[in-house]
Amino acid sequence: MNGVVVVHAGAGTWRFFNRDEVTKVIKSSLRAGIEALKRGGTALDAVVNATIVLEDSGILNAGLGSVVDALGRLTMDAGVMDGYTGRAGAVAAVTYPKNPVVLARKVMELTDHIILSGSGADELAFRLNLPKHPGPTERVLKLYKEYVSKADPTSVRFAKNVKIAKELGMLDTVGAVALDNDGRLAAAVSTGGIILKFPGRVGDSAIPGAGFYADRYGAAVATGVGETIMMSLLTYRAVQLIKEGYTAITAAKMALQFHTSLFGKDTAGLIIVDRSGTPYGAYNTQAMPWGYIRVDMEEPYISGFPETT
Ligand code: GLY
């Protein structure tokens, strides 16, 4: 079996980002994932390590770079799933941990629960002595100040805020999927959610089957407008299609096509890998930087930037 790690930096317009900077982060993330596999780690180790690098970059909408809600506060969602054991763990609306993906893994491994939210999840992070988040970056606070007056302050439908997020290209949830050398599959996802979201809002990244899913056939993570991904069950749908016999490439395209038929363009993207190790990234947005690396590859494959950058 030839291990492979796939990561993405989020679906969106990617108009205001430095391509070299984002490419560097994706490559570092892929290397962190593949190094875990080379050391004999599991697919779960690989996706968590890869996602930590994306969270720590500070330039993507997850971990250190997470965007803020309508009150200017950070609340992050993350999830992991181990396709081999069929177990999942997730955190919703957490504020404490620097790396929500690590906390999601702890929920899966240390508790009998699947999703912990808000203060309870933060309490677990505190008790486990996980590194604390330092708060929103200057870039995020600047965006908040600039756009908060244009946001819809009351509507939980927040269509106007999603429009702002799309304009800003801020749908950049991050994630990773992997197949390890023993044939196990795993998925991990992390996000600050939609910028200017109503406080307390939870997106797809905390919901197994929506933002992330893995079994013995495939693993997928999604990015985009969580309210649409939760209703199309995008990652579960894609992995089910693999189980029905489609390749990862066809499964991703079919699942996204179904999603787009329900919710239109500019709403979602996903990365996927099947048990043969075929990786793929599909999106209905202008861009979704993603890449993959196999154990035997020197340089990763990178794709998904908008043509104009
Ligand atoms: N896909 C991330 C979110 O909607 O929160």
Q: Which has more confidence, 307 or 91?
A: 91
| 154 tagged catalytic | no
Contact call for residues 289 and 302 (beta carbons, < 8 A): yes
- Supply the pLDDT for residue 94: 98
Q: Whose CA is nearest to atom 4 of ligand 1?
A: 226
Domain residue limits at 132: 4-303
pLDDT at 309 over 50: no
309 falls within a domain:
no
Query: Cβ(256) to ligand 1 under 6 A?
Result: no
90 has which bridge partners? 79, 115
Output the pLDDT for position 130: 98
Does 224 count as an annotated binding residue?
A: yes
203 Cβ inside 6 Å of ligand 1: yes
Pick the catalytic residue: 173, 191, 228, 235?
173
**Looking at the domain assignment, is residue 276 inside a domain?**
yes
Residue at 35 is within a domain? yes
Tell whether the model's pLDDT for residue 263 goes beyond 70: yes
Residue 210's CATH number:
3.60.20.30
Neighbours of 131 (CB within 10 A): 12
Its pTM stands at: 0.95
The first and second tokens of residue 181, run together, are 């050398």
> Is residue 139, in this structure, part of any structural domain at all?
yes
Mean pLDDT of the chain: 93
Q: Count how many domains the chain has.
A: 1
Distance (Å, rounded) from C-alpha 39 to C-alpha 37? 5
pLDDT of residue 157: 52
Q: Is residue 166 part of a domain?
A: yes
Residue 226 assigned as binding residue: yes
| 308 in a structural domain | no
